[in-house]
Chain A
Amino acid sequence: MSPRALDLAGAPSVALVNGFDAFVTGEIPRLRQALVARYGVDVGSDATSAATLWAWEHWEQLSRNDRPIAYLYRVAQSSQRTTWAWRKRITTTFPSEAATTDRTAAVDLGLVLAKLPTNQRICVLLVHAHAWSYAEVAELLGMSVDAVTNHVHRGTTRLRKLLKEDQ
């Protein structure tokens, strides 16, 4: 049951509620990082909200899962997949690099990131921008560590090439 659902037989379990709270505090920000890397800020944030709602509704099921964040990542993907036809019109957007930093890069990283293939972008951002380990990314995406290593390598190589080309 969801930790906060009205239980007609009694109050919700304190352990369930605390577990959910800890999960929201610790894991949802990381899930958001992954979904933002996947879908961009706008859709990624929305997907995070949808996944959080799902987690709340299915907390008991989720709390038994060995890899809850990976499971929620799939849930978020599914929730977004239902809107694929409609979302074709929405481009994956990333914030400008210059908006919040002083550096005046010749080419904005936010623009170039959108050109990367999806898996390469996710791996590069999670490993280099958010300091995830290769194993954590592999667990999230359901890949082997070697595959993640390849994606990161190819992604960074391609990213640097794109940055140089655009200069």
Chain B
Amino acid sequence: MRSTTPPEFQQRLAAYGTILDRARPRVRVPQPEGRTRRIMATAITATLGVVTLALTQILPNPSKPSLVASEPVDQRMVFPIDGPVTFIDSFGATRRDVEGTSYIDQNVDLFARAGTRVLALRAGRISQLNETPRLGNHVWITDDDGNRYLYAHLQKSTSLREGQVVKAGQVIGRIARRGSDTAPSHLSLGIHLPLAMAVNPFPIIQTVRTGSIAPSYSPSSTVVVRLRTVASGDGKSIITGIEGDGASPSVGPGQSQLNVVMPAAAPITALIDPSRNIPPFRASTYVWTTSATLWSERLRHLPPASREMRAARADPDNKQLAVAGQRRELHRQRQAHHNVQPDLSVAHRQGRLNDPSNEEQLRSCRSEQAIRVVLVRRSQCH
């Protein structure tokens, strides 16, 4: 049977295999709400605000070859707007597109006047030029580490072409007159990691803007970071912030909870004392690699308001709807609470939690569960 396939057809399939190997996911795959215990456990165990640590991934990797062999790697990062700009951390905000469909925005919007020049955040190669109703004219640039940068809502440009190599700071377009049907002119900036999904560009561009990025950071160097809890309680610690010490990537303000000396090329797990009371949060799951390449990331949000709750709000006089809405709201809160319960089954299985009455042991395991990180070396990412 094998001989029935013509050689040219086999060659075509073999060439397509190379394409498949190189293909990166174009859309983030959202996770359903409140499903299996495993997903919930994952959301707890690897919950980290390693969004910020993505910064280290897009910093230089001396071991990797340059885009152009004869030129050194352009390691700079340049703030992408050349002019007055306003932006906040809008990553994860719920938006509606022109067709009224609700979606989670994985980009950060940088508001600036129409016509303002847009610069490449980091050197790379233009991997895609496209136009869609949601993003308008947009450009995808892939750097030599495989990170992909999205610049959306640009004016149409004829000077760019796919495959073109751009330097950090090079003009790649101008901001369009209207960002979308409902928003003023702005640039939507997204950063997607190899094999994985979007990370929050806000701390990165904020750091770039303030100039606090260390120019010579090496992924193999030792990094002193401060892990910051933004959600805590007895056994419910969620770490979402990380700060550098000035010599290593420094991201975002925050009160340090614990200093961890973390060799970037070695495994890391750490404990943190859950002692702070923090307002509501969005839990995030990240599997973090040595050079901060995210293998996977799942954003988990608190369940949205249910149909019953919306109906109850729309008709406050209807007692039946009000009861149903309250019941649903209670379920929602329980579900949200359950989402942050640590899964101790791994600790049980590993024998580290052999005495549930031992408070110290229990607390250690709970804390560990909350911030465990998976590290895989950059060279192992494909």
> A129's contact among B13, B296, B349, by CB below 8 Å, is which?
B13
Given contacts A6-B271, A41-B26, contact A1 B350 (CB under 8 A): yes
Distance in angstroms from A76 CB to nearest chain B CB is: 11
Query: Hey, which bits of chain B sit against chain A, CB under 8 A?
Result: 1-2, 4-5, 9-10, 12-27, 29, 31-32, 35-36, 38-39, 42, 45-46, 195-196, 267-271, 287, 295-296, 346, 349-350, 352, 364, 368, 372, 374-377, 379-380, 382
Indicate if A120 sits at the interface (CB-CB under 8 A): no
Contact (Cβ within 8 A) B17 A125? yes
Q: Write the chain B residue with the least CB distance to A11.
A: B267
CA distance A129 to B14 in the complex (A): 4
What is the interface residue range for chain A against chain B?
35 or more
Contact (Cβ within 8 A) A56 B374? yes
CA distance A24 to B352 in the complex (A): 26
20 additional A-B residue pairs with CB within 8 Å, beyond A1-B349, A128-B10, A129-B13:
A4-B267, A28-B380, A29-B21, A32-B382, A43-B29, A53-B42, A53-B295, A57-B45, A79-B38, A83-B31, A90-B29, A103-B12, A105-B12, A109-B12, A128-B5, A130-B20, A131-B14, A149-B2, A156-B4, A156-B9
CA distance A90 to B32 in the complex (A): 13
CA distance A12 to B374 in the complex (A): 14
Kindly list chain A residues whose C-beta atoms are within 8 Å of the C-beta of B346: 2, 5, 57
Query: Hey, which bits of chain A sit against chain B, CB under 8 A?
Result: 1-9, 12, 17, 21, 24-25, 28-29, 32-33, 36-37, 41-43, 45-46, 48-50, 52-53, 56-57, 79, 82-83, 85-86, 90, 93-95, 97, 99-101, 103, 105, 109-110, 124-125, 128-131, 149-150, 152-153, 156-157, 160
> A153's contact among B4, B23, B349, by CB below 8 Å, is which?
B4
Interface centre among B5, B42, B372, B375 (most CB of A within 10 A): B5
List 17 A–B pairs whose Cβ atoms lie within 8 Å, in order of A's numbering: A12-B267, A25-B379, A25-B380, A28-B382, A41-B20, A41-B26, A50-B296, A52-B296, A53-B42, A53-B287, A82-B38, A83-B35, A99-B19, A128-B5, A128-B13, A129-B14, A157-B4
Contact (Cβ within 8 A) B19 A95? yes
Kindly list chain A residues whose C-beta atoms are within 8 Å of the C-beta of B15: 97, 101, 103
> B20's contact among A28, A48, A95, A105, by CB below 8 Å, is which?
A95
Contact (Cβ within 8 A) A45 B195? yes
CA distance A95 to B18 in the complex (A): 11
Contact (Cβ within 8 A) B368 A6? yes
Kindly list chain A residues whose C-beta atoms are within 8 Å of the C-beta of B372: 5-6
Interface centre among B15, B364, B379 (most CB of A within 10 A): B15
Distance in angstroms from A99 CB to nearest chain B CB is: 7
Given contacts A32-B382, A85-B32, contact A6 B14 (CB under 8 A): no
CA distance A150 to B38 in the complex (A): 36
Distance in angstroms from A70 CB to nearest chain B CB is: 20
Q: Write the chain B residue with the least CB distance to A93.
A: B26
Given contacts A41-B24, A129-B16, contact A6 B269 (CB under 8 A): yes
Contact (Cβ within 8 A) A48 B195? yes
Kindly list chain B residues whose C-beta atoms are within 8 Å of the C-beta of A48: 195
Contact (Cβ within 8 A) A49 B35? no
Distance in angstroms from A14 CB to nearest chain B CB is: 11
Interface centre among A8, A43, A131 (most CB of B within 10 A): A8
Distance in angstroms from A40 CB to nearest chain B CB is: 9
Interface centre among A90, A109, A129, A160 (most CB of B within 10 A): A129
Kindly list chain B residues whose C-beta atoms are within 8 Å of the C-beta of A103: 12, 15
Given contacts A45-B25, A83-B35, contact A21 B377 (CB under 8 A): yes
Distance in angstroms from A3 CB to nearest chain B CB is: 8
